[in-house]
Copies of this chain bind each other. A is one copy, B any other.
């Protein structure tokens, strides 16, 4: 803001990254479209594409069929099969890993059940490193891993990947990023982020919120997390811990919360609250348990209906506060909140209607996650791709000293 405009070299880097981001998010794109999207002339687009092609990040080819006369514009495709990242998830009930190609395509994935209880570093890192080994063993020789990142149910310090606190995975000041980096030994650091923040990133870049510049993503995974996109950017806050909407106090006289407070959104709306109100606490856990309550309510089970109405009331109160504070274009419900919202939409909508100013709510759309269970893994992949999208050639030179075709 207060610095001078960019240098020529910075502009080239920005343009390379921008072109790569276009094909990463939009898929195969013709040179003509890129020219118009980026507001640059044809020869600049050709030069940028040539640089990215030489680096092995994109490939140019003739379009299948243009349906138009004349010489068709070449199509620029991401090198999805060659250039990939590793994405991990440490959820409350699962450990997951995926190999995701440039362009956001899941090429391979692994998943294991995580038992609830204290955080077991050896088990978590061992399982994920094992998945990574299996998946990398199955890749072709000429593939290249350009990044790795993990989504975690907890409050994460971005700079070093320490999980400051993750009440629902029993984690407290856990150096997950460091351990994953050590055990994976990819020659690049493993970034760590909060699962709801990364879910927000995924839904914003290639999910239901693509194109929205102001979006709130609420993620349920036993507890409740939030990821907030403000003017196209993920809200970080001063220390990077922003978006902890699960610990907004919605009911000052409410249920005790794992964080030590009382009446937090997570305490009133999370899985344990729903299960207790439905008289099913201890029967089942996880998404299946929540789904069972919603199904029972659909079939006319009065106790399940009342439980959903009860938690939906608090969910609506929390969303109303967020709508007044952020005036978002969209609120997205993901994880188990997808089911809870679908089972209590009437209460949520009613609370928003009565608890917000007309101006802040009149344009908001309420939606469920488009990426479903993959949202957090896809978000971790976006975090892992961040370096190569910011400065493609520099990032690549660090992971592949001898570039393809070079």
From residue 319 to 353 of chain A, which have CB atoms closer than 8 A to chain B? 320-322, 324-329
Is A6 close to B, CB under 8 A? Answer: yes
16 pairs, CB–CB < 8 Å, chain A vs chain B: A2-B38, A4-B11, A4-B14, A5-B12, A5-B15, A155-B360, A237-B360, A238-B328, A238-B364, A239-B362, A241-B360, A244-B324, A244-B327, A247-B324, A260-B354, A321-B321
Is A22 close to B, CB under 8 A? Answer: yes
Interchain CA distance A363-B311 in the complex, whole Å = 33
> Do A327 and B240 touch (CB < 8 A)?
yes
Copies in the complex: 2
Is A405 close to B, CB under 8 A? Answer: no
A 297-329 to B, binary, CB cutoff 8 A, 1 in contact else 0: 000000000000000000001001110111111
Interchain CA distance A245-B248 in the complex, whole Å = 13
Size bin of chain A's contact surface: 35 or more
Interchain CA distance A363-B39 in the complex, whole Å = 42
Which residues of chain B come closer than 8 Å to A359, judged between CB atoms? 155, 157, 164-165, 239, 241
> Do B354 and A261 touch (CB < 8 A)?
yes
Is A252 close to B, CB under 8 A? Answer: yes
Which residues of chain B come closer than 8 Å to A228, judged between CB atoms? 325
> Do A249 and B327 touch (CB < 8 A)?
no
> Do B327 and A241 touch (CB < 8 A)?
yes
A45 CB → nearest B CB, Å:
9
Is A356 close to B, CB under 8 A? Answer: yes
> Do A4 and B40 touch (CB < 8 A)?
yes
From residue 1 to 41 of chain A, which have CB atoms closer than 8 A to chain B? 1-6, 10-12, 14-15, 18, 21-22, 37-40
- Choice from B6, B39, B247, B354 contacting A3 with Cβ under 8 Å: B39
Closest 10 interchain pairs by CB?
A: A237-B327, A5-B11, A238-B329, A242-B327, A241-B327, A244-B324, A4-B38, A248-B321, A164-B359, A241-B359
